[in-house]
Amino acid sequence: MHGALIFAGQLALKIATDLEFDYVHATRYRGGATGGQLHWLRAPQLPLVGRCVLLVDDILDEGHTLKAVREDCLRRGAKQVLIVTLCRKLHDRLAPGIESDFNGLDLPDRYVFGYGMDYREQGRNLPAIYALK
């Protein structure tokens, strides 16, 4: 979820209502190209009971990360969890029961980096999205 940093900051500037920031860090790629088990590095710190949560991430790929984070928010008592992603990959490996409520771009099934997303922890600061050959 490091990857959400740039998008989340830019999105926040467009939201006119009051909001509070929090972040979680759950990673299953850990700088690699293929996903594995989800590692929780930071849980949410704000109380979520009865609250509407806008869960912002850079990419919905196989969906395991956002599914687990959404379930965690609901377990903590969130009233509603909406998912917003900068991009999502089009393929048939999406975990059941997860989708973006709001999404910017649909991408082909390629390894992508830039605009927050990494290739071996590099390239997050590139100002556009690129795909490996």
- Report the catalytic residues: 61
Instruction: Give the contacts of 65 (CB within 8 A, at least 6 positions apart).
Output: 1, 26, 27, 28, 38, 57
- Tell me whether residue 17 or residue 123 sits nearer to ligand PRP (CB atom): 123
Q: How far is the CB of 81 from ligand PRP (least distance, A)?
A: 15
Binding residues for ligand PRP, rule: CB under 6 A, are 1-4, 27-29, 35, 57-65, 118
What are the start-end ranges of the H helices in the chain? Answer: 5-12, 64-75
Q: How far is the CB of 35 from ligand PRP (least distance, A)?
A: 5
- Report the chain's C-alpha Rg in angstroms: 14
- Tell me whether residue 27 or residue 129 sits nearer to ligand PRP (CB atom): 27
- Report d(CA 38, CA 70) in Å as an integer: 13
Instruction: Give the contacts of 55 (CB within 8 A, at least 6 positions apart).
Output: 66, 69, 70, 73, 81, 82, 83, 84
- Tell me whether residue 65 or residue 84 sits nearer to ligand PRP (CB atom): 65
Q: How far is the CB of 15 from ligand PRP (least distance, A)?
A: 20
